[in-house]
Amino acid sequence: MVINTNKSIDPKKLSLAYNYCKNITKTYAKTFYFTSGFLPEKKKNAAYAIYAFCRYIDDLVDLKSVKKEADPEIKIYKAIQKWKEDLQSVYDGKVIDHPIMIALYDTLSKFNIPQNLPNELIDGVVMDMTINRYDDFENLKNYCYKVASVVGLMTLEIFGYEKEEAIEYAIDMGIAMQLTNILRDVKEDAEKNRIYIPKTEFEKFNYSEEEFKTFRFNDNFKELMKFQIERANYFYDKAQNGIKFLDKDSRVTVGLMSMNYRRILEEIESINFNVYTSRAYVPFYKKLLNVPRVYLQYN
């Protein structure tokens, strides 16, 4: 059930709040912003609110303004705890005077998004403050679930779905997209002393963490990356089966999002897997080329 909203929000203030979330999405999530253009207005605004909420939490962990101060982690934890308390207040039906929380309050009045989902997201983002290595894929998969699959489950309630099977496919899509993020951002994350590729897989391909930290590109690294891409594609293949269970007015958006993200893996392959020297991205013209195919497929 949706939250009980016994307080009305001034329409102008609500419009400004959604516009604030829209601008955050447009700035930091270009692929999603592009694909969201195919959603109805109500769903589009709600998706912007969810993305802005997620982005705010992510930014708190990387809060540069406090990292130069004494006890920066304590300040970040306090900021995250305050955000979590504000979230609880919103679920209790209270209006918090922050544009993201205002938009979220309105979104939760229209869509049934269980509170455990945003709480799990917060827990997952906090993992980046305490964990910077993963022993095996099961541990990494748990992280991917918390920071990406739960986002998929929140937006699933906005997109709408016919059958419960859609839930498992949304989880798979989140894992696929987070694995893609990890492969795209390998160098950037390593520079922050975050290594997401599991230790067991470094060992499997005879590639050391020291080589990884010094960005040594060799055949072993290429094989390691090929393996990572194959696994991400496996999860995309599974997730693709769930798009047909979504509301018809949401299928193009999700189909495009999946295809455009998957194209990042193709771009990594096109640069011979050398993510140390080039950051893979999908040019806008290629995103446009996907539109007719996806539109025809899901309409």
Predicted local confidence at residue 6, as pLDDT = 62
In the chain, how many domains are there?
2
Domain match, 136 and 89 both: no
More confident residue, 129 or 200: 200
Measured from the Cβ of residue 248, the count of other Cβ atoms closer than 10 Å reads: 11
Predicted local confidence at residue 35, as pLDDT: 96
Last residue in a domain, options 129, 145, 163: 129
Query: Could you tell me if 61 and 137 lie in one domain?
Result: no
Q: Are residues 135 and 110 in the same domain?
A: no
Band (pLDDT 50/70/90 cuts) for residue 205 is very high
Domain boundary among 95, 110, 129: 129
- Whether the pLDDT of residue 202 is over 90: the answer is yes
- Tell me the residue range of the domain where 161 lies: 131-299
Band of pLDDT at residue 8, cut at 50, 70 and 90:
confident
Judged against a pLDDT cut of 80, whether residue 128 lies above it is answered with yes
Looking at residues 24-37, what average pLDDT do you find? 95
- Count of beta carbons in the 10 Å neighbourhood of residue 62: 12
Nearest to 35 by CA among 20, 18, 21, 47: 47
- Mark whether 153 and 198 lie in a shared domain: yes
- Residue 117's CB is within 10 A of a number of other CB atoms, namely 19
Q: How confident is the model at residue 299 (pLDDT cuts 50, 70, 90)?
A: confident
- What's the pLDDT tens digit per position in 207-250? 999 999 999 999 999 999 999 999 999 999 999 999 999 999 99
pLDDT tens-place string over residues 257-266: 999 999 999 9
For 41-53, the pLDDT digits (tens) are: 999 999 999 999 9
Helices marked H in 165-283? 165-184, 186-191, 199-204, 209-213, 219-240, 248-270
Q: Residue 2 pLDDT > 80, yes or no?
A: no
Quick check: 99 and 9 in contact, CB under 8 A? no
Per the CB < 8 A criterion, the answer to whether 240 and 258 are in contact is: yes
pTM (2 decimals)?
A: 0.93
pLDDT at 71: 66
pLDDT of res. 37: 94
Q: Reply yes or no on whether the pLDDT at 65 is more than 50.
A: no
Query: What tokens were used for 54?
Result: 């997620």
> Do both 112 and 190 map to the same domain?
no
- Mean pLDDT, the chain, integer: 93
Q: What would the pLDDT profile of 167-182 be if each residue is shown by its tens digit?
A: 999 999 999 999 999 9
Domain final residue, candidates 129, 163, 197: 129
Give me the CATH number covering residue 280. Answer: 1.10.600.10
Statement to judge: residues 75 and 137 lie in one domain: no
Q: Are 295 and 199 in contact (CB under 8 A)?
A: no
Whether residue 77 is found in the same domain as residue 188: no
